[in-house]
Amino acid sequence: MGCITTIAYPILCKHTVMQRSHVLIGVGGGIAAYKLVEVVSSLAKAGLEVRCILTAAAQQFVTPLTFATLSRHAAYTDRDFWQPVHGRPLHIELGEWAEVLLIAPLTANTLAKLAYGMADNLLTNTVLASTCPVLLAPAMNTEMWEQLAVQRNWQQVHQDPRYHPVGPGAGILACDRVGAGRMAEPEEILPYIHSLLYTQGNRDLTGKKILISAGGTREFLDPVRFIGNPSTGKMGMALAQAAAHRGAEVILVHGPLEEMVMQTLPAKIHTVPVISASEMQQAMMQHLSIADWIIMAAAVADVKPANYSVEKLPKSALPDSLPLSSVPDIVATLAQFKQAHQRLIGFAAQSGDIITPAKEKLQRKHLNAIVANPIDQPNSGFGSDQNQAVFIDAQGRQQAIAPCTKLHMAHQLLDFIQTIP
């Protein structure tokens, strides 16, 4: 199968390292089963305990030995069904052990069993013997996916709050068909697993509309040169992921982002791409009225070239001193127009003393809360997968966030916002 690319996601849950999280992977019968190799490897390397169940059809695509090797634990099949574990049935033991259960690729056959509560193999029996949240990642041919019976079953499992859907997406399928039915990528599945470990499947933001900005803006001098910053948009993306995983309706206004970062977003998030600060302000103002919370995580430029050339300037024509002009203060403008029921949260990326300038910005721009974010600490700030911060609200409350993944920090910020009067 070639080299396995693993995605580094440090432990993301409310448990201590000594209480490692338990993730159970149910592998279905489909060519997309190869993607689970990356999922299992990444989870195990992140320090989580992983167990795998393979259906009979799954073993035609990837062997139990592969998953046993990557998970550092035996992989189970129907042959193990009635083998007792410490004197107890295996499906009971696994069902009670799991904190999150992923079923992928979810086939039409297994979907039908879940919809009607059927249990005729180790995997489906374990589902019924468990109470943890279940993440479902369907994968099948487009015609199969669009069948009325399949869509009916898909809608039926949505009625059970235990089940959380991820995908399917659209693209080129193994049958050479182009259309819906492509299984979600590991880059989207892994953050969802970590979110479920944090929330235990709670959709506490259902009904909320959250407007988030992410990434840096670019202010162009000519078609190829611009003033920008090192922001990758990872913090804003993590906020969008966390909010969507918790049931919120999310609108994400973002500057230029890498394709790999975009692949982590749940498909239900409404994205609005922009480039400049003025474009971002226009997009944020356009959606302001429908938002309950507005989180301004983008790294917006402070200035722009005073003059723009429609053609690339030769090097000899570049000025020795570049005239600059100001750009819109987006968060201050949002504060002027927000309603009493809305919550506006800003970010303050600082070096040295992060608290004093953050408090000043909080008061001057009339925010409900601000995230004071150090950019001069290891594994923090621009481009890092981790972050640390101090949350401060308008009442003066402060909450320090120790270094953690940006997704973990996003969940903690969402918790904090819910406590703002």
Active site residues: 175
CA distance 213 to 257: 12
List b or e across 39-78, with b for residues whose CB sees 16 or more CB atoms inside 10 angstroms: bbbbbbbbebbbbbbbbebbbebbebebbbebbeeebbbb
Q: Among candidates 333, 331, 384, which has minimal Cα distance to 362?
A: 331
DSSP strand pairing (324-326 vs 303-305)? antiparallel
CA distance 391 to 396: 10
**Contact in structure between 249 and 208 (CB atoms under 8 Å):** yes
CA distance 75 to 252: 39
Residues in the chain: 421
CA distance 45 to 4: 12
Please provide the DSSP assignment of 98-148 as one string: -SEEEEEEE-HHHHHHHHTT---SHHHHHHHT--S-EEEEE---HHHHTSH
CA distance 252 to 235: 12
CA distance 119 to 123: 8
**Contact in structure between 295 and 331 (CB atoms under 8 Å):** no
Strand partners of residue 272:
253
86 sits in the region (left: phi over 0; alpha: psi -120 to 50; else beta) called left
CA distance 147 to 108: 10
**Contact in structure between 206 and 247 (CB atoms under 8 Å):** yes
**Contact in structure between 328 and 277 (CB atoms under 8 Å):** yes
235 phi and psi angles, rounded to 5 deg: -70, -45
